[in-house]
Amino acid sequence: MGTYQVRRFEPDDAPRIAELVRKVWGTDYFHRELYDAEELLRLHAEGRHVSVVAADEAGNLVAHDALSRPELGSVGETCMAMVRADHRGQGLMTQTRRYIIEIARELGLEGVYGQPVVTHTASQKVYMGLGFVCVGIGLGLRPSTLHSDQEEPMKGRGTLLLYYLPLKADWARPVFAPTRHREMLGRLYEALKLRAEFKTSAANDPGVEPAFTVKHGSIVLAFGERSGRAETQVEGWAGLEEYTRTQRQEVLLMELPLDDARTPAWYESAERFGFSWSGLIPGLLGGRDALRLVRLDVPVVDGAGVHIADPEARAMFEYVRGHRMAVG
């Protein structure tokens, strides 16, 4: 296939990226900003998005990758990776993803995370090869409309793996873990080589009702402070129940700050509300470690089946699925 130039985004790339997305994902890719040249330029100017592209010897864009920080936080997401069909198998995703990690280091980020699908082992192996650790599973987080040019349309929502790579020297962090997940969290911190000081919460009742912040098109429900603009504020569990009843979301995420002594009690309440363990993302909540939960109101249908290359990720898949079944 010849040689490739892997480089950072340039303004003239914006319409060419949109063309590449249409070739690989069609017109339904859920990162709509990639179709809109003006929006992509704005996100780059604000530092919320950094694209990396690969061009062939003729100058054609044949691959894309990105670092996304919609709230300019200390942790970024590696995402939007794609390679044109006739240039696959050349290791381009590894090259673009390695460049993304270099950019994240330059920005001084605490870490990066990514969410490969369970139906594509090649992308999973890229994460494994770059030293990422599987820290969770996103049951139902893959939209039914998300399928590439080599996949059949999905008949329901699919599953994403959750991988994390620490980028900074560690410090001791307080962790108030829900009892049933204390052992798993200990294993994850050890695998990530991050120091956790597990604390015991004295209160079974957090006392004050939590305030939820609904972000990103009513998808994420976040406890605590997180930079960026909130779309909706929801007060207490009764408010959350009313919100979910009226909005009818298929899937909801909840992120609990693990350095808060109220988190174990909040977790118990969330389980009664239908949320279950999904994973750990260090530093996600404005530098605070996040315990991620998910609530599903539709079945999960991984159209091409579940194919997981990483034994640790397979064990995590069974762990998450088991707790999801226990919650019901």
Residues ≥6 apart with Cβ < 8 Å to 307? 118, 119, 120, 121
The answer to whether residues 313 and 124 touch, using CB atoms and an 8 Å cutoff, is: yes
Which tokens hold the place of 210? 């939590």
At 228 the pLDDT is 47
At 223 the pLDDT is 58
Quote the percentage of the chain above a pLDDT of 90. 59
The answer to whether residues 189 and 183 touch, using CB atoms and an 8 Å cutoff, is: no
- Collapse the DSSP code of 88 into the 3-class scheme (helix H, G, I; strand E, B; otherwise coil) and give the result: coil
The answer to whether residues 323 and 276 touch, using CB atoms and an 8 Å cutoff, is: yes
β 251-257/288-296 pair status = antiparallel
Domains and CATH numbers, the chain: 1-109 (3.40.630.30), 173-327 (no CATH)
pLDDT of residue 10 exceeding 90: yes
| pLDDT digits 0-9 by tens, 145-156 | 555 545 555 556
At 209 the pLDDT is 74
At 41 the pLDDT is 97
CA dist 324 and 327 (Å) reads 5
| pLDDT digits 0-9 by tens, 157-168 | 789 999 999 999
pTM beyond cutoff 0.85: yes
Q: Which residue has the higher pLDDT, 247 or 197?
A: 197
Predicted confidence band of residue 328 (pLDDT cuts 50, 70, 90): low
User: Which amino acid is it at 176?
Assistant: F
CA dist 294 and 74 (Å) reads 23
C-beta contacts of 40-44 below 8 A and 24+ residues apart: 40/14, 41/11, 41/14, 44/9
The partner residues of 276 in beta bridges, in order of sequence, read: 294
